[in-house]
């Protein structure tokens, strides 16, 4: 395998790692907010006591 291909693969892995690192929890919250029954209100998610 050529070194440039290897470098490209490493870069792709690095970028997707960052995407999963910061995007996974928002994704879980998005799924929870839109696909659960009954749909929870946004206020309930944010405020610590409601």
Summarize the chain as % helix, strand, coil (round to 5): 75, 0, 25
Nearest distance in Å: CB 7, other proteins: 12
Nearest distance in Å: CB 4, other proteins: 14
User: Which tokens hold the place of 21?
Assistant: 């690192």
Q: Is 39 left (phi over 0), alpha (psi -120 to 50) or beta?
A: beta
Nearest distance in Å: CB 30, other proteins: 9
Q: Using CB under 8 A as the criterion, which residues of the chain lie in contact with other proteins when the complex forms?
A: 1, 6, 9, 17, 20-22, 24-25, 28-29, 31-33, 35-40, 44-45, 48
């Amino acid at each position: 395998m050529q070194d440039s291909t290897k470098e490209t693969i490493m870069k792709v892995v690095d970028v997707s790692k960052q995407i999963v690192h910061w995007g996974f929890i928002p994704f879980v919250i998005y799924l929870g907010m839109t696909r659960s029954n009954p749909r929870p209100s946004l206020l309930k998610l944010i405020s610590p006591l409601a």
